[in-house]
Amino acid sequence: MLMTGKDKALKIVNKAEIVMLGTVDKAGQPQIKALIKTKNDGLKEFWFCSNTSSKRAQQMKENGKSCLYFTTKKWEGVMLNGFAELSYDDEVRKSFWDDSMLTYYPQGALDPDFVLIKFTATSGNYYKALVNEDFDVAD
Amino acid sequence: MLMTGKDKALKIVNKAEIVMLGTVDKAGQPQIKALIKTKNDGLKEFWFCSNTSSKRAQQMKENGKSCLYFTTKKWEGVMLNGFAELSYDDEVRKSFWDDSMLTYYPQGALDPDFVLIKFTATSGNYYKALVNEDFDVAD
């Protein structure tokens, strides 16, 4: 069976440990930050840990337009376009919790500074060398 | 001598082989692309190879606001904020040329599809774990 760009993208995304989050600040300037990939539902939904007090979280409240970018060492990559929002879902925060995180969130899993970034993708692009394929992200 | 965030940033930037370029498309959506680092003048000026026909190059003509992002394996990174523009400088294109690039630019160093991205930084940020330091990029 021939793998589509979307199939290859899913493989890269599922294997990835680190992902780059792109956002846009008040001045219209793009910003990038590396995040640890935690939970994802295929190419559609991603959750990341962040800090309420961080510049990035504050910025996201005003402008949720964002992208995720994944690369491999083989000059191959995936970009997902979508929307990011902050979430304080207690169940999800507890499910992500591990005591090594106390350095960052001294009050534990429900520390008010512990916020989740929920990213929802709408479309994507897979590339490898000169191959470049756009795809929709839908059910 | 104590190293400042800016000193540490310069060290990371000079060692880097790959850099992430962040731009903003017409719809205000952030976009990320991995590029091979070629030539740089400290933290101030960077040159990259691209294609005139690419989405990214076309987009850059309309909105030059951009950032560069560098990470190490030690959870440490640098972001530079600035402006990107396209350049067809013949001398610089010739200086970057190498015959392995014929796959991408069949007409050689002066192929009209061979365009340079010139990025000029204005400010930067260095981070490592909880350390986070902003700096200006000036002479």
Cβ within 8 Å, pair B79-A103: no
**In the predicted structure, residue B111 carries a pLDDT above the cut 90:** yes
ipTM entry: 0.91
**In the predicted structure, residue A27 carries a pLDDT above the cut 90:** yes
Residues of A in contact with B81 (CB under 8 A): 29, 31
Nearest CB to A22 within list B30, B65, B104: B30
Q: Tell me if chain A has a CB within 8 Å of the CB of B125.
A: no
Residues 81-100 of A with CB under 8 A from B: 81
Give the pLDDT score at A55. 85
What pLDDT band is residue A139 in, cutting at 50, 70 and 90?
Answer: low
Over residues A69-86, mean pLDDT? 93
Q: Tell me if chain A has a CB within 8 Å of the CB of B42.
A: no
Give the C-alpha separation, A93 to A115, whole Å: 8
Does the model's pTM come out above 0.80?
yes
CA distance B65 to chain A (A): 6
- The amino acid that residue B92 corresponds to is V
Closest by Cα among A7, A138, A26, A23 to A78: A7
Q: How many CB atoms lie within 10 A of CB A75?
A: 12
Measured over the CA atoms of residue B2, residue B5, residue B6 and residue B10, the dihedral's sign is: positive
CA distance B133 to chain A (A): 13
Q: How many CB atoms lie within 10 A of CB A76?
A: 17
| B18-45: burial string, b at 16+ Cβ within 10 Å, e else | ebbbbbbbeeebbbbbbbebeebeebee
Digit-coded pLDDT (tens) for B35-88: 999 999 999 999 999 999 988 898 899 999 999 999 988 889 999 999 999 999
Q: Tell me if chain B has a CB within 8 Å of the CB of A138.
A: no
Cβ within 8 Å, pair B67-A130: no
Q: What share of chain A has pLDDT > 70, as a percent?
A: 99
Alpha-helical segments (H) within A21-98 = 55-62, 90-96
CA distance A67 to chain B (A): 6
**In the predicted structure, residue A122 carries a pLDDT above the cut 90:** yes
C-alpha atoms less than 13 angstroms from C-alpha of B87 in its C-beta half-sphere: 18
What pLDDT band is residue A137 in, cutting at 50, 70 and 90?
Answer: very high
The H or E element spanning position B15 is helix B5-15
The residue count of chain A comes to 139
Give the pLDDT score at B139. 56
Q: How many CB atoms lie within 10 A of CB B93?
A: 20
Give the pLDDT score at A108. 96
